Amino acid sequence: MSYLYSADYITDTIYQYSGFNSTIISSITSPSLNIRGLNYYNNNLYSADNGTNKLYKHSGFSTTILDSFATPSTNTAGVVINTGTVNIYSSDANTNKYYEYSGFSSTVLDSFATPSTWARGASTDGTNLLSADNATDKLYKHSGFSTTILDSFTSPSTNPFGVTWDGTDLYSTQVNEDKIYHHSGFSSTILDSFTSASTGPVGLAWESTTSAIIYNSPFFGMAF
């Protein structure tokens, strides 16, 4: 069984879809205003909030918050978990940097500059960081957690925000069209799409209950 999660900054709601389709199973209100990035790991949802500039660890898919901490800057966007080290990664649209934290804590271990000035969503293919950029309207594949770009392509529309990975294919959100896209692998080829539940889709996350490793997302949505 698989679930897609999307965050909506207009309604400050997080939606749970039944796989990749418009059927909404459940929804919760985000911890604060201006929800951005999402990640789903080890049966818990993680979210990034631009209003409080905090990263939140939820209890499952619920409004109950198990833990939270403040990020280094004032435009928090994405949240990612490295399933190998269990360190948290976040993105920031003010500093245009990705940060690596020691576990789920405010201790910053490392950081690097994003490809352009308005990076948004990010995820991983299990090894490499995947990111979206609003200034270039491109989706990037990094070499591991670094500034080195292995591949990139132009997104289906302007203002790409959230991205997530299901182990095989990429998914992305386009705020201008209020759509969520299913790509073929890491490429511009679109296999399917549907209109999001509301008019401000940003962060994305993917949960596969049959997979040993859970890949998920969102600068405005990340996952490792």
Establish if 218 belongs to a structural domain: no
Q: Tell me which long-range contacts 62-67 makes (C-beta under 8 A, separation of at least 24).
A: 62/28, 63/28, 63/29, 63/31, 65/31, 67/104
Q: What is the mean pLDDT of the chain?
A: 84
Establish if 114 belongs to a structural domain: yes
Establish if 215 belongs to a structural domain: no
CATH assignment at residue 119: 2.130.10.10
Establish if 104 belongs to a structural domain: yes
Weakest mean pLDDT among 11-25, 70-84, 120-134, 146-160: 70-84
Establish if 44 belongs to a structural domain: yes
Establish if 123 belongs to a structural domain: yes
pLDDT above 50 (res 102): yes
For 158, the domain range is 2-181+196-208
Segment 24-59, tens digit of pLDDT: 999 999 988 888 888 898 899 999 888 888 999 999
Domain count, the chain: 1
Establish if 82 belongs to a structural domain: yes
Establish if 222 belongs to a structural domain: no
